Chains A and B, each alone.
Chain A
């Protein structure tokens, strides 16, 4: 057993997820038996709510030898694996809440006229579009996580979810690490359901003709879910031996007792585990929900509970801006830690990071005026060679971020002519 494997194992234990066997061996066993020799590509998103302080974020030079800005300092240690992108925009949807549309429209670039009954533009998001294809081969079609620590329900679902199956149909994020763990690794969770599914599916068929068109659409959420779960059950069962061998242990601490950085890292670990064991190839991780005006503790970084949202509106005050910059830095550090963890996972042809596109971003560039131009966008990993990392690229002003969605789809092997307001693709990302 190599030193690297040991250190990785202890790193995982440190934050609560432990593994009886080094994953690599399990992975290798599985992949050796797989018909394909190539390692799958994965895509993951790391979402920061409420935008960032632009002045401390923006990069001035382009190319390989760009100088890191104040907020982006932590990526120095991994910069050869990073592609930084500037001037990518989202369509701003006038007349709806700036924060809710940041989370609902970020990954879909939904047009303003795609309004849901609740008044938000909603479309199938890029992670789900890609999962339509990659999900055929994995136990779970996708994984949605949110490090939303709030126990009040101050805001609606539009602030707490970035992944959508479509119009009004949310791919609801999981907030509790223990629950995530059980879903991924506890075989008995999935046992014994298949005959029940046949039965309730018959009930749905009974119900359907009685309903109006509108309600039939609503019922589709149920029947689609049944089909997804059906596939999931058989695929999870086929991986049963791997997982038993892996013998992962659930996070020990309850999430309510976790420090802020711990919470994000544990969720990140679970996401990485799911990606490296090929339980899924597409994942989204929100570090927190949009707006949600409730104060929050960030232990070790701030003495008193912080107020992220109201700070963003007060950032022209120097003191407030400095605090906010520190919070942005905190998020970048969390991201870089996860990037390094991906880098530490060996795969046949390199590392997990090499085979993944791990993108950090926000639906707002700055929360101060709810601006959607020049969204913070950083991609770590080469996605199996599709991404040319180690540089900063500045696009022409007004380039839709939808072009990036389209390119990421391509990198993941999904052909997509158009999404949202896309006008083309991103030249640094391709089929690879």
Chain B
């Protein structure tokens, strides 16, 4: 089969972004400063149930600043909502300043619940954006709830709503607090929507259904249409002048040979080479900065010629890349067994299911991510994994991610004798584990013997049960020979064991080890590209969204063929996104997409960063176990509330434990703690926090990302840059060359020489071969230099040297600091929306993307852009895409002896 060398392949993959999305347009338009930046927080496809009546808890939903702090009120009684309020103290003339979020423009009745007590003051309450104001006296000899303050028909705009309580004096009977001033307490603020909310319109996916008809040839970006295409000799003349010196096949450093394909005819057959050249040219990556440069007219003409040839190629080659059949990975196997046998939970604890919710919180039907969650970390946490769930049941070895991809690709998911042994053992150990009967929802309906001695009746019952189960397990219509086979096996086991239950369990164990169950098989395509049959499409869909097998409802539309109808398919997609099983998109997709596993082995130096470690018993635990949860909970909230994926770039809220909050906010985190039990390693309360500092928020600047992309004794800007390029932009840098000059492992050593890490790294890239890549990758790491090796903000280096975080994004967008970088990404949302769609499409398909995926991606990205990155739009468009619904005729492969 056709294969591409890794290096070329990586270039090829990273250049996906470059098609007409933006790189084809040569230069990104600078953001127009007069146009206000869109606030992606406004995108919310799902409203909380009962959102017309929304209570904002003082201790949870209000911004905390100054002397404000949370006070638990249970010592004073049960009347406080959520058992706590937001407490503030100050001197007369000072104000308690805070704010809360309003989801939608509208007219509301507002009621505010305050607390009264003996040392509470008189306040002037204002909400500057709604001209609402009132004076209140919070004195009362008892500690009690104040009379409810009510305001009718207040117009509120969506977004952040400031609120101020100015201390204007005190009741004569009130006593002073700490001899300084007076207190106030805010329990909650409740909004009741008065005008009807706008219809929550369910958008339909792109009407124009992408069927087998070849899509039209790609039209050129507007500013290319006028450009003449070059003739073969003109192209040859230009490449000879600007490229051939290095790319002649002789120069070992480049490995990229234009010489051999310096004919347009030859290029026609090498679209991947064309793509590399187009992207290198449009990114101004080539020729290198110190080499002779073509004029802009020449460059534009070359790019346009290549664009034309690529689109010609795509028009003539409407193929979908073949996918190698794969087996389930162990995450999927667990889910599939759980769903098939209706188990109460997992069959084994998997470290890759990072989030361990002590109170299940992931319920899309509520339309809202909870404000408080009790969570442990299975990957890194204490005693989270070793304990078996079912006695004697252990998973097979972890399936590793494909390079630059996910752990769901056929090439990497092999079956060996050892794997088969585990599979056989697993099936047996699950059904025969002592806990199984109490754990399985089918104990009565599947495993109990029918209450009769009539052999025929028993036989009929067994056949009926097996038929249903086999259909769900194998995702195919069950024919007579298969049913007979399993029935025969059952009868044999019944004879041997003389126990209906035991025989049925053995039969189920066999099903769980069968290739029909473990493989995601698709029948051979009859044409070059063919629509998947209903069962196959259902299987793709359920493994994409749930990492599991289809449920009965999905199977029923697969069975009757209606799933082929795009509207039915979309309806199912939306239904499945409302099922808690889609938590797999966080646990499996997001975890791998963000490369969060790398946090497992991150080891910040023990002496330099002692606060990263907590000693419990005789073991050291890492703070990474709390960091790792934060980006995943953000992802959860985007799914649950159907928000914009742009919040992954910049977001005004986050979910953190108190300890994690201290990590970001305090000079010395956990200042009063010793190395023993320094932080909690078991489970923690994660609360929704409002973020006002834009240096925080989103996944890039999260402590998890910053820590796992650092070395023990310093940050690692190249690793960070490569992470941003790969994860955020889906332009993974090519693998490093064989010769890599070393850089000191400790930044203190570097700084003692008067150099910053950045200056030291730049010294090392004097060769143009190095500089060509590094000038693209490194700035994306340098801009994060203000975050130290464990993700804490620093204004300057330890030695006092200044941090230079300026740079440019992909050679085009300038930035001075991380907020500029976030703004650049928000101003050019197509960059991230495309990259995210590509990652997710590749996950959905279980394969690497190829050139022929570009037209389909174009369509997905344009809908995602229209919907401002709304999460469900990304998923629904991927499901509707041709690449998802069709499959290709696989090439025949040559036998290797």
Q: Interface on A for B, CB 8 Å cutoff?
A: 94-98, 114-120, 123, 141, 144, 150-158, 160, 165-172, 174-175, 183, 189-190, 192-193, 195-197, 199-200, 202-204, 206-207, 210-215, 217-219, 221-222, 225-226, 228-229, 232, 294-295, 304-305, 307, 310, 313-314, 316-317, 320, 368-370
Interface centre among B8, B416, B474 (most CB of A within 10 A): B416
A239 to B: closest C-beta gap in Å: 16
Q: Within 8 Å CB of A170, what residues of B?
A: 414, 416
Query: Taking A172-B414, A213-B890, A225-B416 as contacts, is the C-beta distance between A203 and B896 under 8 angstroms?
Result: no
Question: Which residue on chain A has the smallest CB distance to residue B412?
Answer: A157
Distance A117 CA – B324 CA, assembled complex (angstroms):
9
Please tell me if the beta carbons of B400 and A155 are within 8 angstroms of each other in the complex.
yes
Interface: B739 (CB within 8 A): yes
Please tell me if the beta carbons of B896 and A215 are within 8 angstroms of each other in the complex.
no
Q: Which of B206-214, B515-523, B795-803 contacts A (4 or more CB under 8 A)?
A: B515-523
**Quick one: which of B508-532 are within 8 Å of A by CB?**
509-510, 513-516, 519, 521-525
Please tell me if the beta carbons of A204 and B492 are within 8 angstroms of each other in the complex.
no
Please tell me if the beta carbons of B890 and A118 are within 8 angstroms of each other in the complex.
no
A112 to B: closest C-beta gap in Å: 9
Q: Interface on B for A, CB 8 Å cutoff?
A: 1, 3-9, 255, 322, 324-326, 351, 397-403, 407, 410-412, 414-421, 424-425, 427-428, 474, 481-482, 485-486, 489, 492, 506, 509-510, 513-516, 519, 521-525, 597-603, 605-606, 711-712, 735, 738-740, 742, 745, 889-893, 896
Distance A315 CA – B474 CA, assembled complex (angstroms):
54
Please tell me if the beta carbons of A200 and B893 are within 8 angstroms of each other in the complex.
no
Please tell me if the beta carbons of B521 and A210 are within 8 angstroms of each other in the complex.
yes
Distance A197 CA – B510 CA, assembled complex (angstroms):
8
Distance A373 CA – B433 CA, assembled complex (angstroms):
53
Please tell me if the beta carbons of A212 and B514 are within 8 angstroms of each other in the complex.
no
Query: Taking A98-B738, A213-B892, A214-B893 as contacts, is the C-beta distance between A232 and B417 under 8 angstroms?
Result: yes
Please tell me if the beta carbons of A157 and B7 are within 8 angstroms of each other in the complex.
no
Query: Knowing that A172-B397, A190-B421, A212-B524 are A-B contacts, what are 12 other residue pairs whose CB atoms are under 8 Å apart, sorted by A's residue number?
Result: A152-B601, A153-B398, A153-B399, A153-B400, A155-B400, A156-B401, A168-B411, A192-B428, A196-B510, A212-B525, A215-B325, A294-B603
Q: Within 8 Å CB of A202, what residues of B?
A: 485
Q: Within 8 Å CB of A95, what residues of B?
A: 5-8, 255
Which 6 interchain pairs have the tightest Cβ spacing? A314-B742, A294-B601, A95-B5, A212-B890, A152-B600, A214-B890
Please tell me if the beta carbons of B515 and A196 are within 8 angstroms of each other in the complex.
no
Q: Within 8 Å CB of B485, what residues of A?
A: 199, 202-203
Distance A207 CA – B482 CA, assembled complex (angstroms):
11
Distance A118 CA – B5 CA, assembled complex (angstroms):
9
Please tell me if the beta carbons of B9 and A119 are within 8 angstroms of each other in the complex.
yes
A-B contacts, 29 listed (Cβ < 8 Å): A95-B7, A98-B738, A114-B896, A119-B5, A119-B6, A144-B418, A152-B600, A154-B597, A155-B400, A156-B401, A157-B400, A169-B416, A172-B414, A196-B427, A196-B513, A197-B424, A199-B514, A200-B515, A211-B521, A211-B524, A212-B889, A214-B1, A214-B892, A218-B326, A221-B414, A295-B712, A310-B742, A316-B742, A368-B739
B597 to A: closest C-beta gap in Å: 5
B773 to A: closest C-beta gap in Å: 15
Interface centre among A151, A152, A168, A170 (most CB of B within 10 A): A152
Distance A155 CA – B415 CA, assembled complex (angstroms):
19
Please tell me if the beta carbons of A219 and B325 are within 8 angstroms of each other in the complex.
yes
Interface centre among A116, A213, A316 (most CB of B within 10 A): A213
Question: Which residue on chain B has the smallest CB distance to residue A159?
Answer: B400
B681 to A: closest C-beta gap in Å: 16
Q: Within 8 Å CB of B509, what residues of A?
A: 196
Partner of A313, one of B482, B489, B740: B740
Please tell me if the beta carbons of B510 and A221 are within 8 angstroms of each other in the complex.
no
Q: Within 8 Å CB of B893, what residues of A?
A: 213-214, 217
Q: Within 8 Å CB of B326, what residues of A?
A: 218
Please tell me if the beta carbons of B419 and A225 are within 8 angstroms of each other in the complex.
yes
Question: Which residue on chain B has the smallest CB distance to residue A297?
Answer: B603
Q: Within 8 Å CB of A199, what residues of B?
A: 485-486, 489, 510, 514
Q: Within 8 Å CB of B602, what residues of A?
A: 294
Question: Which residue on chain B has the smallest CB distance to residue A171?
Answer: B416
Please tell me if the beta carbons of A212 and B322 are within 8 angstroms of each other in the complex.
yes
Q: Within 8 Å CB of B740, what residues of A?
A: 313
Q: Within 8 Å CB of A211, what residues of B?
A: 325, 521, 523-524
Q: Within 8 Å CB of B711, what residues of A?
A: 307
Partner of A150, one of B414, B425, B601: B601
Question: Which residue on chain B has the smallest CB distance to residue A316?
Answer: B742
Q: Within 8 Å CB of B403, what residues of A?
A: 97, 118, 156, 158
B632 to A: closest C-beta gap in Å: 16
Please tell me if the beta carbons of A203 and B516 are within 8 angstroms of each other in the complex.
yes
A312 to B: closest C-beta gap in Å: 10
Q: Within 8 Å CB of B402, what residues of A?
A: 118, 156
Please tell me if the beta carbons of B523 and A222 are within 8 angstroms of each other in the complex.
no
B690 to A: closest C-beta gap in Å: 33
Please tell me if the beta carbons of A117 and B513 are within 8 angstroms of each other in the complex.
no
Interface centre among A94, A160, A199 (most CB of B within 10 A): A199
Question: Which residue on chain B has the smallest CB distance to residue A152?
Answer: B600
Please tell me if the beta carbons of A369 and B515 are within 8 angstroms of each other in the complex.
no
Distance A174 CA – B396 CA, assembled complex (angstroms):
10
Distance A212 CA – B421 CA, assembled complex (angstroms):
26
Query: Taking A98-B738, A211-B524, A215-B324 as contacts, is the C-beta distance between A195 and B400 under 8 angstroms?
Result: no
Q: Within 8 Å CB of B521, what residues of A?
A: 207, 210-211, 215
Q: Within 8 Å CB of A120, what residues of B?
A: 6
Question: Which residue on chain A has the smallest CB distance to residue B394?
Answer: A179
Please tell me if the beta carbons of A225 and B420 are within 8 angstroms of each other in the complex.
yes
Q: Within 8 Å CB of B522, what residues of A?
A: 215
Distance A204 CA – B516 CA, assembled complex (angstroms):
7
Partner of B420, one of A222, A305, A313, A369: A222
Distance A313 CA – B601 CA, assembled complex (angstroms):
20
Partner of A151, one of B6, B9, B351, B407: B351
Q: Within 8 Å CB of A96, what residues of B?
A: 5-7
Partner of B419, one of A156, A172, A210, A310: A172
Interface centre among A168, A196, A217 (most CB of B within 10 A): A196
Please tell me if the beta carbons of A183 and B510 are within 8 angstroms of each other in the complex.
no
Q: Within 8 Å CB of B397, what residues of A?
A: 172, 174-175
Distance A222 CA – B411 CA, assembled complex (angstroms):
14
Distance A150 CA – B513 CA, assembled complex (angstroms):
28
Partner of A154, one of B255, B324, B514, B598: B598
Question: Which residue on chain B has the smallest CB distance to residue A197?
Answer: B424
Distance A183 CA – B425 CA, assembled complex (angstroms):
11
B543 to A: closest C-beta gap in Å: 16
Distance A272 CA – B419 CA, assembled complex (angstroms):
23
Q: Within 8 Å CB of A196, what residues of B?
A: 424, 427, 506, 509-510, 513
Q: Within 8 Å CB of B738, what residues of A?
A: 98, 369-370
Question: Which residue on chain A has the smallest CB distance to residue B398?
Answer: A153
Interface centre among A195, A214, A314 (most CB of B within 10 A): A214
Please tell me if the beta carbons of A218 and B600 are within 8 angstroms of each other in the complex.
no
Q: Within 8 Å CB of B416, what residues of A?
A: 165, 169-172, 221, 225
Distance A206 CA – B9 CA, assembled complex (angstroms):
36
Please tell me if the beta carbons of A169 and B428 are within 8 angstroms of each other in the complex.
no
Please tell me if the beta carbons of B425 and A189 are within 8 angstroms of each other in the complex.
yes
Question: Which residue on chain B has the smallest CB distance to residue A193?
Answer: B424
Q: Within 8 Å CB of A153, what residues of B?
A: 398-401, 407, 597
Q: Within 8 Å CB of A116, what residues of B?
A: 3, 411
Distance A171 CA – B397 CA, assembled complex (angstroms):
13
Distance A212 CA – B519 CA, assembled complex (angstroms):
14
A93 to B: closest C-beta gap in Å: 8
A113 to B: closest C-beta gap in Å: 9
A170 to B: closest C-beta gap in Å: 5
Please tell me if the beta carbons of A204 and B515 are within 8 angstroms of each other in the complex.
yes
Question: Which residue on chain B has the smallest CB distance to residue A92?
Answer: B738
